[in-house]
Amino acid sequence: MKNIFEIMKEFGLEVEEDKKKDFEKAVLENYKTSADYDVQAEKLKTAEGKVTTLTESLDKFKDVNVDDLNATIETLKTDLANKDKELKDKIADRDFNDLLKESITSAHGKNAKAITALLDVDTLKASKNQKEDITAALKGLSEAEDSKMLFGTADPEVVGYGNPIGSVTKTSNQTGATDVMRSIMGLPPVGK
């Protein structure tokens, strides 16, 4: 690439040495080289391509009604909030029911359904101290005359059988009962 002063000399123009710096400064401020032009032209071409792509992308949405879209978004937000509340309510109900069953069991309740029917479940659910309030309500029921029969130790589990003579034996020890009967009848024990 030739110096600007050499190009000017070829056309018969010369700039005095003391004015060359000022001339060169003025030329650089007002004119760009062809390389600079090519870089700027490429940037412009890239920007035009992006504008075309964006315009095509926006054209897909030209028939979309923004008000309808906003209404749909609001509806979906409301539905999501309702589902979230419903899920939280179900979890709270499950936790409350587990706490209630656990409390009835620890209070030696015999029939959980009957005891639950006597409780003010809605008030207990709304309570801030559910565990304490459930315990207090169960204590009140266990002390009340009309409901205390629902509490207490469980009925004993049957582990044997009775015979007409009146003895009770365990089913796991059948040979003992047989030996007792044989001794009553005057017979020797089994296996001896």
- Tens-digit pLDDT profile for residues 128-155: 999 999 999 999 988 888 888 888 876 6
What are the φ/ψ torsions at residue 160 (nearest 5 degrees)? -150, -160
Residue 115 CB neighbour total at 10 angstroms: 22
**Do 130 and 143 touch, CB atoms closer than 8 A?**
no
Mean pLDDT to the nearest integer, 169-175: 55
- pLDDT surpasses 70 at 164: no
Strands 160-162 and 168-170, bridge-based pairing: antiparallel
Question: What is the residue extent of each domain of the chain?
Answer: 4-58, 72-150, 158-192
- pLDDT surpasses 60 at 120: yes
- pLDDT surpasses 70 at 163: no
| pTM, rounded to two decimals | 0.47
Among 141, 150, 144, smallest CA distance to 114 is for: 150
3 state SS of 168: strand
Beta strands in 39-135 (DSSP E): none
> 188 or 173, which is more confident?
188
pLDDT in tens, 22-39: 888 888 777 777 788 888
- pLDDT surpasses 70 at 75: yes
At residue 83 the predicted structure's pLDDT band, cuts being 50, 70 and 90, is very high
